[in-house]
Amino acid sequence: MSTTPSPATEVDQEAETASPARNYIDAVLEQSFRHLFGPTATPEQPRKHGVVSIANLTAALSGYLTPEEIKEVKAAFHFSDEAHLGQYRQSGEPYITHPVAVAEICAGWKLDAQSIQAALLHDVMEDQGVTKAELAERFGAKVAELVDGLSKLDKMEFRNREEAQAENFRKMLLAMARDVRVILVKLADRLHNMRTLGAVPPEKRRRVARETIDIYAPIAHRLGLNNTYRELQDLSFANFNPNRYATLEKAVKAARGNRREVVSKILESVQRAIADAKLDAEVTGREKTIFSIYKKMRDKQLSFSQVLDVYGFRVVVESPLECYTCIGALHALYKPVPGKFKDYIAIPKVNGYQSLHTTLVGPFGAPIEFQVRTRKMHEIAEAGVAAHWLYKNGGADLNDVQKRAHQWLKSLLDIQSEVGDSSEFLEHVKIDLFPDAVYVFTPKSKIMALPRGATALDFAYSIHSDLGNQCVAVKINNELLPLRTELKSGDIVEVITAPYSKPNPAWLGFVRTGKARSAIRHYLKTMRLTESVQLGERLVDQALKGYGYQLAEVSPEVWEKLVQWTGNKNRQEIFADIGLGRRVAAVMAKRIEVLMSGQDADDDDHHHSPRDPNAPHAPPVVITGTEGMSVQLSACCRPIPGDDIMGYIGIGLGMAIHTTDCRVAQRIHRRDPGRWIDVAWAPQPGRLFDVAVKVLVKNTKGVFARVAADITSADANIVHIAMDDDLAQESNMLRFVIQVSDRVHLANVMRRVRTNPDVMRITRERPSDEGHHRHEGGMRIERERADY
């Protein structure tokens, strides 16, 4: 019985076939391929230093900074060198070698003098106790802000490592949102730490590698720093899974020798085809990184020998028009693979990346990927937000990558303003770091990029939070579809809003973007608080009337004493607690009555039952049906105006309205009688109410449509329709959820339906009568019509 070897096993087998003779050949081929492809992304070893020098750094800076700026950088070096004197890295090197290496990476990106200074000083606050004020006085406020944004919150107390990590990321990302240079220096810091991770204990090495591949590599990709992104991925993989990395690295080296002749033949043919097309182009070979090969093997369950596109080619031309001409020449040379042409010039990636991608069938049937781009696109593709550094001209003339980066950074501030804690903030940021994206269009043809899997509602929130909050429906390609519909690239999306619409808690179950989730949670939290305060005021006012007082008569002095007595911050918080059921309005009214009359009050009053038989009878709370989340009509009995009702105050849940004959309510009343209050319908409620009816009909053709027509002819809206098919052939049960104004309206609808000769019986249906649902106090958020 034969079995298919696992990808890892086959990689090991391929690597182990290399003979001593091949090792020599590999060395020769390695040199050739380095000339063709450039160095592969393997982990760098720590550099050994004798006397620490910044000659390499100043040489790099002299190409774009002024002598005065270089002087400021040298001052930062001497300050950092003095601060870190006697401090060593785990490799045994003087600690100053690290900030110098970070500054050299930043110089490679041609960052400004303030960024280089921050790179040299980035650990002095955290490790050596230098204050922000000291840095500001010595190097200016901007440099001090950058260093502060890079420093961890070590002086704060956290419950665990995860909480500390989340809060530090939050601080760093918000500093980055204010000044993108913070994350550029941080990425340089992380890149050097990853290059020298070999001296760190294995457990910490794996933790840092996981953190890097989860957070820092995606941020680099999001900002268009593709070289940094690829190197961070490979270094993380090498440290997180060193055995598999080494095995794949050997396999790739062996494959270079096997494919050298094919690659050379392709390169020669491509150069000839481009010359025939009269294009001035630079053609270079490129090799997949070790991590990208591993990821493809893992995701598609392939062996190494099945990953045929290890090598590819990049063609750099002068203009966008020449990019398309070049693609035509390549397609004439080799047959293109259907569905593998991607135009990222017309529709750039979410991080601003632009190129034409195509996959062709080369010699011996091997697929070869080509990337075609202009020189400017190439520079931006490699350096991302750091290309043509924006601080050189004060932020004017930003390239597309920088504009997109700024939009994303601004969205971080929007999320921050709407979330509760650092862990939630980090969760939302991680969602928005996914590189895969779909590209959709507004009705005015503006392109919007969203994470893969994003819904139409995510689209609405991506434009503006208010648009999402008031969204009631969407048209996708001119077709009315639910808000939860996942978008595909090329969709044209139109948002339909209504001023009365509010976010539904059920939306949190399907939105994908951090911005949408944080906006919905923020709105619901704010709305719930506002409505709870309003309900609390009404409940206290109702209870006070039993003592002959009005709420408006309560003096500020009495409120001050009440706030001290309850421990709340202010009267609004007292009302919110009452509206949410955490405090009892009758107890609060009794306390107010005592304080208003000048009597002594027993501090234990707040423990008494709200149904104290000695308490005066208060008028009922009036229900309009428009109170919002703080007052809900229970799904177990679906009360409508005209029904006898009662209210249940659940702890932390607000008020649930039940009919007096509801079985769920009666069961809760027996268990917890003290939390029920008198309620009554307003004379003219401000909305329509859902009610369920079931209709037994003869099984005749078209009966469904005729009954539905009868209901709508009685001015009732149909919300939901279902049909039972387990009865005898001659009859069937239809179930409707309809909207009526009150019991009189419902009676009119039922009379109208009974006139239909096919209708055998129509009755009002209560879910609690049939035991279909269990609801704690009837407090269930309706999911019906959640999309609209």
3-state secondary structure of 719: strand
Rg of the Cα atoms in the chain: 35
Complete DSSP assignment for 131-181: -HHHHHHHH-HHHHHHHHHHS--TTS--SSHHHHHHHHHHHHHHHHHH-TH
CATH number at residue 739: 3.30.70.260
Which residues, at least 6 apart from 387, have a Cβ–Cβ distance to it below 8 Å?
224, 379, 380, 399, 401, 402
Same domain, 204 and 353: no
Sign of CA dihedral 209, 211, 214, 218: negative
Residue 527 lies in a domain: yes
HEC letters along 301-369? CCCHHHCCCCEEEEEEECCHHHHHHHHHHHHHHCEECCCCCEECCCCCCCCCCCCEEEEEECHHHCEEE
Confidence at 303, pLDDT banded by 50, 70, 90: confident
Same-domain pairing of 531 and 447: no
User: What's residue 319's pLDDT?
Assistant: 93
Are residues 372 and 282 part of one domain?
yes
Active-site residue, 612 included: no
**CA trace torsion 205, 206, 209, 214 (10° rounding):** -150
In a domain, 632, yes or no: no
Write out pLDDT tens, residues 249-274. Answer: 888 888 776 677 778 888 889 999 99
Alpha carbon distance 316, 557 (integer Å): 77
Residue 570 belongs to a domain? yes
The reported pLDDT for the residue numbered 415 is 59
- The pLDDT of residue 674 is 77
pLDDT digits (tens, 9 = 90+) for 321-379: 999 999 999 999 999 988 888 898 888 876 678 899 998 988 777 788 999 999 988 88
From 343, 364, 386, the end of a domain falls on 386
Is the residue at 329 inside a domain?
yes
The last residue of one of the domains, among 604, 619, 634, is: 619
- The burial of 336, by beta-carbon neighbours within 10 Å (0-12 exposed, 13-18 middle, 19 or more buried), is given as middle
Start-to-end CA distance of the chain, whole Å, equals 57
Sign for the CA dihedral angle at 159, 163, 164, 167 comes to negative
219 and 96 in a common domain? yes
State whether 256 and 365 are in the same domain. Answer: yes
- 580 or 144, which is more confident: 144
User: From CA 119, how far away is CA 141, in angstroms rounded?
Assistant: 15
The pLDDT assigned to 786 comes to 26
pLDDT digits (tens, 9 = 90+) for 728-781: 568 888 999 898 999 999 999 999 999 999 999 999 987 655 544 333 333 332
Instruction: Return the structure tokens found at 519.
Output: 């906006």
Q: Which of 6-10, 164-168, 388-392, 420-424 has the lowest average pLDDT?
A: 6-10
Q: DSSP assignment, residue 684?
A: S
- Please determine, for residue 685, whether its predicted confidence score (pLDDT) is greater than 90: no
If asked whether residues 614 and 697 sit together in one domain, one would say no
CA distance 106 to 98: 13
* Alpha-carbon separation of residue 740 from 1, 594, 746 (angstroms): 69, 45, 6
Beta strands in 356-514 (DSSP E): 356-361, 367-374, 437-441, 447-451, 471-476, 479-481, 493-497
Q: Choose between 523 and 101: higher pLDDT.
A: 101
Q: Could you report the per-residue pLDDT of 749-759, keeping only the tens digit for each? A: 999 999 999 99
pLDDT number for residue 162: 63
pLDDT digits (tens, 9 = 90+) for 92-123: 889 999 999 999 999 988 889 999 999 999 98
Residue 325 token pair: 């001409």
If asked whether residues 592 and 457 sit together in one domain, one would say: no
Answer yes or no: do 705 and 558 share one domain.
no
Among 40-54, 299-313, 686-700, which range has the highest average pLDDT? 686-700
CATH number of the domain bearing residue 94: 1.10.3210.10
Residue 136 resides in a domain: yes
* 127 catalytic per annotation: yes
CATH for 432: 3.10.20.30
Distance, CA of 452 to CA of 432 (rounded, Å): 10
Q: Please determine, for residue 31, whether its predicted confidence score (pLDDT) is greater than 90.
A: no
User: pLDDT at position 386, please?
Assistant: 59
pLDDT at 571: 86
Catalytic one of 69, 126, 163, 769: 126
Q: Are residues 417 and 450 part of one domain?
A: yes
Asked if pLDDT for residue 617 goes beyond 90, the answer is no
Residue 34 lies in a domain: no
Determine whether 181 is exposed, middle or buried from the number of CB atoms within 10 Å of its CB (0-12, 13-18, 19+). Answer: buried
Nearest to 491 by CA among 447, 434, 431, 432: 447
What are the beta bridge partners of residue 437? 451
pLDDT above 50: residue 11? no
> Residue 185's domain spans which residues?
55-240
Count: domains in the chain: 5
Identify whether 424 is part of a domain: yes
Which of 213, 240, 267 is the last residue in one of the domains?
A: 240
pLDDT at residue 385 in the model: 61
Q: Identify which of 442, 457, 553, 536 has the alpha carbon closest to the alpha carbon of residue 503.
A: 457
* Number of Cβ atoms within 10 Å of the Cβ of 497: 15
Q: Which of 127, 309, 379, 486 is catalytic?
A: 127
Residues facing 359 on adjacent strands: 369
Q: List, for residues 493-522, the tens digit of each pLDDT value.
A: 999 887 767 888 778 888 988 888 888 888
- 529, 638, 548, 636: which is closest to 590 by C-alpha? 548
Query: What does pLDDT average to over the chain?
Result: 77
Same domain, 514 and 526: no
pLDDT attached to residue 73: 95
Chain mean position to CA 180: 20
Q: Say yes or no: 212 and 330 in one domain.
A: no
Contact by Cβ (8 Å): 430, 215:
yes
Q: What is the pLDDT of residue 780?
A: 32
List own/partner pairs for 11-17 with CB under 8 A and 24 or more apart: 11/244, 11/247, 11/248, 11/251, 11/297, 11/303, 11/304, 12/247, 14/251, 14/254, 14/255, 14/304, 14/305, 15/247, 15/250, 15/251, 15/254, 17/254
Using 50, 70 and 90 to split pLDDT, how confident is the model at 574?
confident
**Could you tell me if 380 and 269 lie in one domain?**
yes
- Distance, in Å, from the CA atom of 309 to the CA atom of 615, rounded to the nearest integer, reads 82
pLDDT for position 427: 58
**Residue 19 DSSP one-character state:** -
Beta-carbon contacts of residue 515 (< 8 Å; ≥ 6 apart):
411, 414, 415, 428, 432, 458, 461, 462, 465
Q: Is 29 within a domain?
A: no
pLDDT attached to residue 338: 87
Tokens read off for 182: 């913070």
Question: What pLDDT score was predicted for residue 389?
Answer: 47
